[in-house]
Chains A and B, each alone.
Chain A
Amino acid sequence: MSRTPPNVSFHRRSVLPQRPEINPVDPRALEYVSPYDHNLMCAICYCPFVNAVRLPCEHVFCQRCINDAMKITGIGFTPSSLNCPSCRRMFYASEITSMPKILNRMLDDLMVTCPLKDQGCNEQIQRCEVQQHVDKKCAYSEVECPAENCLLSVLRKDMEKQRCLHSMLQCEDCNEFFMERDLESHRTLYCEAGRTSCPDCKAQVLLCDIDQHVESCPDAIFPCTAAKYGCDFIARRLALDQHSRTCALAKLVPFLQRQNERLGAHEAALKSLRLKNSILETSFTSFQETLGPSTDIADPPSSSMLASDSSPLDSTARHLLCLQESLREEVSRVSAALSELDARTTMARMNESLRAKEDISHMNAAIVGMRLQLHRLVSAKKVAMVRNQTEGALDAGAASAPEGPSRGIELPIRRLSDSSRQETKL
Chain B
Amino acid sequence: MFANKRLGKELAKIQQSLPPGIDFVSAPDFKQWEMDIRVLDANPLYADQTYRLRFRFSPNYPIEAPEVTFIHLSQPLRTIPIHPHIYSNGIICLDLLGTQGWSPVQNVESVCMSLQSMLTGNTKNERPPGDEEFVRRNTQRPRDIRFVYEDSSV
Contact surface of A with B, Cβ cutoff 8 Å: 26, 28-31, 43-47, 65, 68-69, 71-73, 75, 83, 85-86, 88
Q: Using Cβ atoms and an 8 Å threshold, which residues of chain A touch B9?
A: 46
Which residues on B sit within 8 Å (CB–CB) of A88?
Answer: 103
Inter-chain contact A26/B63, CB cutoff 8 Å? no
Q: Is the CB of B4 within 8 A of A44?
A: no
Contact present for A29 and B1 (CB under 8 Å): yes
CB atoms of B104 and A65 under 8 A apart: yes
Query: For the side of the interface on B, what is the size category?
Result: 10 to 19
Residues of A within 8 A of B60 (CB): 68, 72
Across-interface contacts of B2 in A (CB, < 8 A): 26, 28-29, 45, 47
Which partner residue on chain B sits nearest A26 by CB separation?
B2
| A29–B5 CB distance below 8 A | yes
Question: In the complex, A75→B146 CA distance in Å?
Answer: 14
Output the least CB separation between A349 and chain B (Å): 112
Given A68-B63, A72-B60, A72-B64, does the pair A46, B5 have CB atoms closer than 8 Å? yes
B103:A85 contact, CB within 8 angstroms: yes
Given A43-B105, A86-B103: A28 in contact with B5 (beta carbons within 8 A): yes
18 examples of A-B residue contacts, CB within 8 angstroms: A28-B2, A43-B104, A44-B63, A45-B5, A45-B62, A46-B5, A46-B6, A46-B9, A46-B10, A47-B2, A72-B60, A72-B99, A85-B103, A85-B104, A85-B105, A86-B103, A86-B105, A88-B103
CA distance A85 to B62 in the complex (A): 11
Mark interface residues in B1-22 (1 if CB within 8 Å of A CB, else 0): 1101110011000000000000
Task: Looking at the assembled complex, report how far the CB atom of A81 sits from the nearest CB atom of chain B, in whole angstroms.
Answer: 14
Encode contact with A along B47-84: 1 for CB under 8 Å, 0 otherwise: 00000000000001011100000000000000000000
Q: How far is the CB of A93 from chain B (nearest CB, A)?
A: 17
Q: Which residues of B contact A43 (CB under 8 A)?
A: 104-105
* Chain B residues engaging chain A, CB cutoff 8 angstroms: 1-2, 4-6, 9-10, 60, 62-64, 99-100, 103-105
**Residue of B10, B62, B63 with most partner-chain A CB within 10 A:** B63
CA–CA, A75 to B64, complex, Å?
11
Inter-subunit contact A47/B5 (CB<8 Å): yes
Output the least CB separation between A82 and chain B (Å). Answer: 10
Chain B residues with CB under 8 Å of A83's CB are 103
CA distance A28 to B63 in the complex (A): 13
A237 CA / B9 CA spacing, docked (Å):
32
Which B residue's beta carbon lies closest to that of A41?
A: B9
- State the CA gap A69–B99 with chains docked (Å): 11
User: Looking across the interface, which residue of chain B has its beta carbon closest to that of A64?
Assistant: B2
Chain A residues near B4: list those with CB within 8 A.
29
**In the complex, given contacts A31-B5, A86-B105, what are 7 additional A-B residue pairs having Cβ atoms less than 8 angstroms apart?**
A29-B2, A43-B104, A44-B104, A47-B2, A73-B99, A85-B103, A86-B103
A44 to B103, alpha carbons, bound, how many Å? 9
Taken together as a complex, chains A and B put the C-alpha atoms of A161 and B60 apart, in Å, by 40
A1 → B minimal CB distance (Å): 8
Q: Are B1 and A69 in contact (CB under 8 A)?
A: no
